[in-house]
Amino acid sequence: MGKYQGLYYFSMEYIDGVTVDDLIRHDGPLEQEKVIDIVMQVCQALKYLQQHNIVHRDIKPANIMVTKDGQVKLGDFGFIQSVFDAELMQEGTTIGTPDYISPEQARGERNLDVRSDIYSLGATLFHMLTGKTLFAGSCSKVMRDHIETAPPKMEELRKDLPRDLVRMVRKMMEKQPIDRYQSPDEIIKDLEMLKIDVAADGGQIPTSRSQILNVITAEKERIAQLEKTLDAVIARQGMMLGAAIAGWVIAVAAFAWALIK
């Protein structure tokens, strides 16, 4: 990308394939295995962008392309958050595609991070699995819904989805960035676990060394997080118990003092 004679430009690789939007239009809701594979590859792209402090700002089915051999490409970098923002945008300017825009992006906030792209990927994932976008209506209504309205319940639109997959999509689309997945790596690890569960339902459990190691690593991290949460709960309960005992001691002492007087 660059600037030539006062005009900005960027060039992209030519992709011989179809977009995910084409797949949805042709096939309707996509198979779980295909969706998981696509999202995992997009997360690898987001990982790379995050390493270079780039926010895509327009993750959507039409910008995700699949080649003839199944390789997924993330394209269209015309909306990326970059050093050119100060020249091209005014404070409060909103860019992005309304159907997939994050709440903070819809508000025109500056200094977005990868969690905004994670929300848009969650909205894209919702569309891939249900064949429907999150919200309907005018652009302004849709953007307001992203900011204020809870997403439709995906399990009511498609009954065969694993509970963990529904939970993942819901977490990706939390209104507050702090409540979402904080990095593409976190999504990849959960998808690795989910991929094995989905494959197991078909009687074919992946057993490659890398997949097994990924599962073990993800489980260790999950257990460590549970232990931290449990320690915090125990500590909080200990403090509450201590405060309660102190309160009783003070009350008894006050009662005894009153009797003595």
Provide the annotated active-site residues: 58
Q: CA-to-CA distance for 238 and 228, rounded, in angstroms?
A: 15
If you search the block for the tokens 């549970």, which residue do you land on?
226
Task: Report the 10 Å Cβ neighbour count for 15.
Answer: 15
Task: Report the 10 Å Cβ neighbour count for 104.
Answer: 20
Q: CA-to-CA distance for 254 and 257, rounded, in angstroms?
A: 5
Kindly state the DSSP code that residue 92 receives in the 8-state scheme: T
Rounded to the nearest angstrom, the gap between the alpha carbon of residue 54 and the centroid of all alpha carbons in its chain is 16
Are the beta carbons of 241 and 248 closer than 8 angstroms?
no
Are the beta carbons of 143 and 119 closer than 8 angstroms?
no
What's phi and psi for 246, nearest 5 deg? -60, -40
Structure tokens at 22: 């084409």
Three-class DSSP category at 84? coil
Largest CA distance in the chain: 94
Closest to 125 measured CA to CA, from 47, 216, 61, 57: 61
Three-class DSSP category at 7? strand
What type of residue is 183? S
**DSSP bridge pairs for 9:** 2
